[in-house]
Amino acid sequence: MTSDAAPRHLHKAAIVVDELRSSLKLLGSIVVLAVVNSGSGLMLVLLATTAAGIVAGTLFAHRRWKATTYWVDDGALHYRSGIFTPDTKLVPLARVQSVDTTNAVLQRLFGVLELRVQVAGASDEEEIVLSAVTYEEAARLRRALGQPEPAPPDAIVRLGVRGLLLSALTGPQIAAGMSGIAAVYGLFDRVINVQKDGEGLLQGLHTTGEIVLVVAGLLTGGYLVSFAAGVVLFAGFEAERDGAILRVRRGLLSRRALSMPVARIDGVVIVEGLLRGPLGLASLQIESVSHGREDDVVKTLLPLVRRREAEAVIARLLPALTVAPGPLQGAPRRALRRFALRPILAGAVVGAAPGIALGGPGWLVLPALAAAGAAYGVRAYRATGVRVAGDIVVVREARRARRTLLVRRRRLQEHAVEHTPLQARAQLADVRVTVGSGGEGRARHIDRATADALSGALRPRALA
Amino acid sequence: MRPEPTEPLPPETLRMWFWSAVIAVAVLVAGALVLAASVGALMPWLPLGVAVAGAAYVALVPRVRLRRWRWRLDDEELDIVHGVWRVQRTIVPVTRIQHVSVQRTGWSDRFGLVSLHAYTAAGETDIPGLRRPQADELRDRILAQLRTPDDL
């Protein structure tokens, strides 16, 4: 049997996985070029170049595989890679924050998975990623890295089919969906433009009705892409805690599993998005140093939860973040106009444009947008609040989404009390708390005395 | 109640900020002159306006900034108050500081100053103008307090 200290290679599937990954990145542009130049001799050259590129890429991936080794020795994980200038990364076991695995379709074919070792404050490039190891090797490595074996869970939360569909329907993947549809549109428009001698889709539109139809089509397409992304990312979602380890599994095509000590989790954010808030729904996100630079999907503790049950679910999965029910100290009444003034002015300025351009009925947009601004301001005023409950600090704010940050007092990296002369005159201040991931909780225009009391409660001496 | 920070920045910092502001305003005025030369209607009001606003900035902002800047380090926290319009009081628990660096540039050397940067997992907090012995002493005091185990 090989010892932990002996250097090991990745599974040979890494050659295929790495090569396919780099090839897929180029595939999109190659397809566009091939379609645009179909029928010309250039297309043959393109295809020949692509084939040569794939062969060279595979040879290169093989060399890279040969040059890549890893081992656990002297209380650290070592990772040596690089063909021309070999480099060894070293992660002390005590600094390992979590071990994530991803099992995509391609990896499933070879019976391997990708293992990602998360380290505090490291970017994606700085993390150690073993792109193909067998299940047995992953289990051995987990043990060697000091991650306990899975045990029967103390608490488990699953997302059922109904929850998954609702989460995808109301999810925040809309932005991703819109950019996806814009990319697809760009591709087709470019193709159509060339095929029709410069007459693109938009140039072919003549009436307002046609433009509205195309915009509605694009929006619907974007929403459908967003829905599909939500389903693919969060299918089979389950979060469980066994002992001191939190495990999160999710994904349809690419099955991703995260496991991290609950002690490494600084806080949780309850996010009530624009679509979810009115339905009494929210999602939960983890705040931890190891996942600070990752996107919101990776940080998801639960993609959908009833808002009134959020604190109870957090208490089950992460008992250290249990917070007793109680009201937040909100912004005083005198702060209301400060919340409302800016959005009203912004609404009025934007709303004046149609009036100036069209005159007459165009001016009706101004009061409508100013009223929308006022509603936005009142919502932010009502949402704002802070609270110290035992070892937990709660900070809530509303911008587009209403965000409630629950964070362990001892894990705050810094906090700040801020005010302008105008706020000082009204005895108001903003409070900002910062967690290790770089994430912030901000409460604006709260009473100055409340802000100072919160700051006082965060003194290390007060925590002792 | 936490005491207010009382340590000011040395007066050389005002000189550094003043001359930085003078150079920035001179560049802006030159840019405004070039722009006004190519768009006749802007002459002479744009360069004049930039010069007047710049002079006010140079006369006021560095002074207010220095007057506001205060810091304090005790056995628990690094406490900083700064800001010209928006006054910020930032408090960093010393146990959260991961490492400290003292940095100098050719520009700060001209004024005999260095800057101190305290890094936490979330980012960095800076004291922009300190005399070298003072910065070294401050860095050593912070490092001496970092000898406690951190559960990051």
Residue range A347-360: average pLDDT?
87
- Map tokens 């599937």 to a residue: A13
What pLDDT is attached to residue B52? Answer: 97
- Rounded mean pLDDT, A399-420: 94
pLDDT in tens, A146-173: 877 777 888 889 999 999 999 999 886 5
Do A119 and A89 touch, CB atoms closer than 8 A? no
pLDDT tens by residue, A178-213: 555 565 565 555 544 544 444 455 555 667 777 788
> Is residue A82 predicted with pLDDT exceeding 50?
yes
d(CA B9, CA B11): 7
Task: Report how far residue B95's alpha carbon sits from residue B5's, in angstroms, rounded to the nearest whole number.
Answer: 19
The residue written with tokens 């009502």 in the block is A382
Contact between A293 and A273 under an 8 Å Cβ cutoff? The reply is: no
A88-102, A115-129, B127-141: segment of lowest average pLDDT: A115-129
Of B87, B91, B152, the CB nearest to A289: B152
**Cβ-based contacts of B2 with chain A (< 8 Å):** 455-456, 459
Chain A residues with CB under 8 Å of B3 CB are: none
Give residue A194's pLDDT. 46
* ipTM for this model: 0.90
Put simply, the chain B residues between 58 and 117 with a CB less than 8 A from any chain A CB are 76-77, 83, 85-93, 95-96
Q: Which chain A residues contact residue B92 at CB under 8 A?
A: 413-414
- Of the listed ranges A44-58, A240-254, A347-361, B3-17, the one predicted with least confidence: A44-58
- Name the more confident of A457 and A19: A457
Given an 8 Å threshold on Cβ–Cβ distance, is B86 in contact with A420?
A: yes
Scan residues 5-44 of B and list those with Cβ closer than 8 Å to A: none
**Could you tell me the CA-to-CA distances from A212 to A215, A217, A219 in Å, in that order?**
5, 8, 10
pLDDT for position A92: 83
Fold assignment, B70-146:
PH-domain like (2.30.29)
| B61: closest CA of chain A, how far (Å) | 15
Which residues 251-270 of A have a C-beta within 8 angstroms of B? 263
Could you check whether the bond before residue B44 is cis, i.e. omega within 30 degrees of 0? yes
The predicted structure's pLDDT at residue A459 = 87
Under 8 Å between Cβ of A264 and A94:
no
pLDDT tens digits, A378-391: 999 999 999 999 89
Computed over every residue of chain B, the mean pLDDT equals: 91
Name which of A413, A434, A463 to mutate to probe chain B: the one with the most chain B Cβ atoms within 10 A of its Cβ: A413
Q: What percent of chain A lies above the pLDDT cut of 90? A: 42
A436 vs B87: CB contact, 8 Å cut-off?
no
- Which chain A residues have a beta carbon less than 8 Å from that of B87? 418-420, 424
Percent of chain B with pLDDT over 90: 78
